[in-house]
A and B are shown apart, each in its own frame.
Chain A
Amino acid sequence: MALLSQLLNTLLQTLLDLIPIIAIIFGFQIIVLRQKIANFKNILLGLFYVLLGLGFFLVGLEKALFPLGKLMATQLTDPAFIYSGLKSIPITLHWADYIWVYLFAAAIGFSTTIAEPSLIAVAIKANSVSGGTIGVWGLRVAVAIGVAAGISLGTFRIVTGTPLHYYIIAGYIIVIIQTMRAPKMIIPLAYDSGGVTTSTVTVPLVAALGLGLAGTVPGRSVIIDGFGLIAFASLFPMITVMGYAQLSEWRYKKSQKVTNDKENN
C-alpha cells in the first residue's frame, strides 16, 4: 500500500513537471502557429508512456538503487573501512589509501551513465541523424568512460584537497585542443554529451559520494569540496566522445592506407 501511494505521489510530481513543458509547446502550436497537432492520439498515448515510465523509474530508483548506493558511498568513505585495509594505523591517511573510493567512483559513474535515459535519447537521435555512423552503444560507452574518469578524478581531488578550478581549466584546455583536431561532425554532439550525463540516475549517487567524502576526509569542507563532482562528470565526456571520433577516424585512415598500399603492390 505504501508502495502504491509512493507511486501515485511520484506520478503526480512527474505530471506537474511535465505540464508546463507540454503547455508551452501545445500553446505555441495552437495559438501562435494555428496548427492542429498531428497524430494527437498517438502523442497523448506516448506522453502517457513517458509519465508512467518516469514514475516507475523514479520510484524504483528510490526503492532500490539510491538507498543502497548512498549507503555504500558512506561506508566506503568511512575512515573505519579505510583503516581496515591497512596493516597499521597511520597518523595521516595517504591519498593512495582511498583506492577503493576511486574505483567505486569510476564503476558507479560508468554504470549509472549507461542507464541514464536522457543519454539514451540523445544516442538514438544521433544514430538516426548520422545515418548509423555513430552507434547508440558506442556513444553511450564513450560518454560513460568519460563520466567514470571524471568522477574518479573528482574524488581524488576531494581527497587531496587541490582546487577544483585547476582541474576544470586543464580539462577545458584539452577540450579546446581536441576541438581543433577532431572531426567537425562530432563536436556539437560531444559538447551536448557533457550536459546530458548528469541527470536522474547519476546526480543523486554522485552527490552522496562527494558529500560523504568531503565530510570524512580530515581538513575538507563540505561547502567548498563537497560540490563539484558533477562538473567533472560534465567535462570529461566531451574529451572521451571527441577521442572516440578521433580514434575511429584514425583507424579508418589507417585501414584506407593499408588497402591503398595493397592495391599499389
Chain B
Amino acid sequence: MENLLNRLLVNIARTLLNSAKDLLPIIVVIAFFQLVILKQPIPNWEDILIGTLFVVIGLALFINGLQVALFPIGENIAYAFAKKGSIVWLLIFAFALGFGTTIAEPALIAVSAEAAKVAASAGLISDLVDARDSYAYGLRITVAFSVGLAILIGVIRIIKGWPLQYLIIGGYVGVVIMTAFAPKEIIGIAYDSGGVTTSTVTVPLVTALGVGLASSIRGRNPMIDGFGLIALASLTPMIFVMAYGMVVH
C-alpha cells in the first residue's frame, strides 16, 4: 500500500516537473523582456505566481487525461468503424464530429463576433445588432460546415490512400485564387479562421481517429495516411469564409 502511494507520488511529481519544463521558456521570455528591456517590475506578484502554478497543474492533468481518455476514445471508435465496415456511417460520423466540435468552439464564437464588428464598421453590413448577429452566426455555420467537410474528405482520403499533398496543394491554389476575388476586409479573418478551428480537445481526438483508421485498414501506413486531418480542417475554413464574404458582401 505504502509502495503504491510512493509510486503515485513519484508519478505526480514527474508529470508536474515535465509541465514546469514546458512552461519554462515562457517564464524566461516574459521575465527578460519585462525586467531587462522594458525595465519594469513584475506587477501582481501573487497573481502571477498562483496563475503559473495553475497552468503547470492544468497541463500535467491534461497530458494525463490525454493518454487515459482522449487517445483511447479516438482509437476505439476508429477500430469499431473499421470492424463494422459501414463507410456511410463512418462518413456521417466524420462530418458530425467536425461540425459538432467546431460550432460550439469558444474561440470561433469570439472571432465571428469580432469579424461582424469589423464588417459593420467597414460598412459591409448595416451596423445593427440583428445584422451583426446574423452575420456572425452565418460565419460560424460556414466554418463548422467546412470543418465537417474537411474531416469527411480526410476520412475518404485515408480509406482510399490518396496522397495528402495533392489535396492540400490543390486547396492552397484555391485559397490563392479566392484571395484575388474576396473582399479585402475578409481576407485576414479568413486566413485566421483556419487556425482557430482546431481546439485542444479536438486535436488529440481527431489525430487518434486518423491514426487508428490508418492502422486498421490494410495497406495504409499510420504515419503517411494517419496524419493530415488537422491540416485539412485548417484549410477548408479559409476557402469557405472567403466564399461567405463574397456572397454576403
Contacts and interface: CB of A to CB of B under 8 A. Distances in A.
B216 to A, nearest CB: 13
Contact of B81 (A33, A50, A69, A188): A33
Contact of A227 (B105, B107, B188): B188
A234 B231 CA distance: 10
Contacts of B65: 46-53
Given A58-B58, A111-B28, A169-B176, A192 B69 contact: no
B55 A61 contact: yes
A43 B187 contact: no
Interface in B211-229: 211, 222-229
B68 A64 contact: no
B121 A223 contact: yes
B58 A17 contact: no
A108 B164 CA distance: 31
| Chain B at the A interface: SS class | helix
A233 interface: yes
A185 interface: yes
B113 interface: no
Contact of B234 (A32, A47, A114, A195): A195
B11 interface: no
Contact of A57 (B54, B77, B225): B54
B192 interface: yes
Interface residues of A, number: 104
B106 A17 contact: yes
A60 B52 contact: yes
A107 B57 CA distance: 24
Given A107-B29, A191-B228, A203-B107, A64 B52 contact: yes
A230 B195 contact: yes
Contacts of B229: 192
Question: Which of B30, B62, B199 has the most chain A CB within a 10 Å cutoff?
Answer: B62
A189 interface: yes
B246 to A, nearest CB: 16
- Chain B contact patch, size range: 35 or more
Contacts of A169: 176
B176 A64 contact: no
Contacts of B71: 121, 125
B159 interface: no
Given A104-B33, A187-B164, A176 B169 contact: yes
A18 interface: yes
A89 interface: no
Given A46-B68, A231-B192, A234-B195, A56 B55 contact: yes
B204 interface: yes
Interface in A187-233: 187-189, 191-192, 194-201, 203, 223-231, 233
Contacts of B230: 122, 191-192, 195-196
A84 B42 CA distance: 20
B68 A199 contact: no
A57 B227 contact: no
A169 B47 CA distance: 43
Interface stretch (A20-28, A90-98, A247-255): A20-28
A46 B228 CA distance: 25
Contacts of A104: 29, 33, 37
Most chain B beta-carbon contacts within 10 A, residue among A59, A122, A169, A191: A191
Interface of B: 22-23, 25-26, 28-30, 32-34, 37-38, 40, 42-44, 47-73, 76-77, 80-81, 84, 89, 93, 96-97, 100-101, 103-107, 118, 121-122, 164-165, 168-169, 172, 176, 179, 184-185, 187-189, 191-192, 194-196, 198-205, 207-208, 211, 222-231, 233-234
Given A50-B201, A118-B199, 10 more contacts: A17-B199, A25-B205, A33-B77, A33-B89, A47-B69, A56-B57, A59-B54, A60-B53, A104-B33, A114-B26
Sorted from nearest, which 6 A-B pairs have the closest CB atoms? A46-B69, A64-B51, A227-B188, A60-B54, A57-B58, A49-B65
25 contacts: A17-B105, A17-B106, A21-B97, A32-B93, A33-B84, A50-B70, A54-B62, A54-B201, A59-B51, A64-B50, A64-B54, A121-B66, A121-B207, A125-B204, A165-B187, A168-B191, A172-B176, A185-B224, A188-B164, A188-B231, A196-B198, A198-B198, A199-B199, A200-B200, A224-B184
